[in-house]
Amino acid sequence: MNASVEQSLYILRETKALYKKPAILWSGGKDSTAILALCREAFFGTVPFPAIHIDNGIDFPETYRLRDQLRQEWGVDMKVAHSIIADDPISGISCCGQNKTDAIRKVLKEEGYDALIVGIRRDEHGVRAKERVFSPRDDKWQWNWKEQPVEAWGYAPKEEADHYRVHPILDWTEKDVWEYTDERAIPVNPLYFSSNGQRFRSLGCTRCTISVPSQATTIKEILTELSTSQTEERTGRAQDKETEAVMERLRILGYM
């Protein structure tokens, strides 16, 4: 775990050195909150990048409370970019999918961010497994996963791009994130813990996320549960129930 943390800290420091105006995409979940904690570890207790919450107005109340807590306790510059709820012909999910992608496009254009730090992991989904740590997006936001730069440490991405996606925990697992969260006493969205025999393993908004059966009420109990669980982490996420081709189309267009 220590080696994974050191690599993530290196990636974040490289991001600060390479790009003029990076930002962090924050969803209210454990992964993007771990990114904020890693920033604090890398930069002497501060988060030097603004965090962007793409908010469609129907996130869980617990997510909004965590957002306020991180602003107050960690001093995170938490910006809110609003997305609409409308028919999405690609995913068929009106609350997220392409609508949230459009909101990301808008905020990037308005603020001029040249790098987005995102808390995705390869073990979450087959399409995310194709990503690189430093992933260029062109002026049409296209992601050419078939011809990506070779991943080699010491390599500094220099090709022309509209912006880069940076993935500091790409090689982590769900277990790694929980262990890091536990060791560093990172604030946790309480929806991850069991209530009446149900909890959330992955968090989106109230419309496209459902809970799964669980009795885990602490992080240690979650880790024990993961050691025997056969359920996929993103089982409760509606967009992941679509075909991998749909998810790939969304990723190419800029979806998280």
Residue listed under structure tokens 């040249």? 114
Neighbouring-strand partners of residue 55: 82
SS3 at position 88: coil
Helix axes 61-74, 30-42, angle to 10 degrees: 0
DSSP codes joined into one string, 175-205:
HHHHHHHHHHT----GGGS-BTTEE-SS---
**pLDDT tens string for the chain (256 positions)?**
789 999 999 999 999 999 999 999 999 999 999 999 999 999 999 999 999 999 999 999 999 999 999 999 999 999 999 988 877 666 667 677 777 888 998 999 999 999 999 999 998 866 767 788 988 888 877 766 666 666 665 555 666 788 999 999 999 999 999 999 999 999 999 999 999 999 999 898 888 888 999 999 999 999 999 998 777 786 655 544 445 554 555 445 545 5
pTM, whole model, 2 decimals?
Answer: 0.87
Considering just the CA atoms, what is the radius of gyration of the chain in Å? Answer: 17
The C-alpha atoms of residue 23 and residue 36 are separated, in whole angstroms, by: 11
Q: How many CB atoms lie under 10 A from the CB of residue 237?
A: 22
The C-alpha atoms of residue 256 and residue 248 are separated, in whole angstroms, by: 11
Domains and CATH numbers, the chain: 2-173+242-253 (3.40.50.620), 189-240 (no CATH)
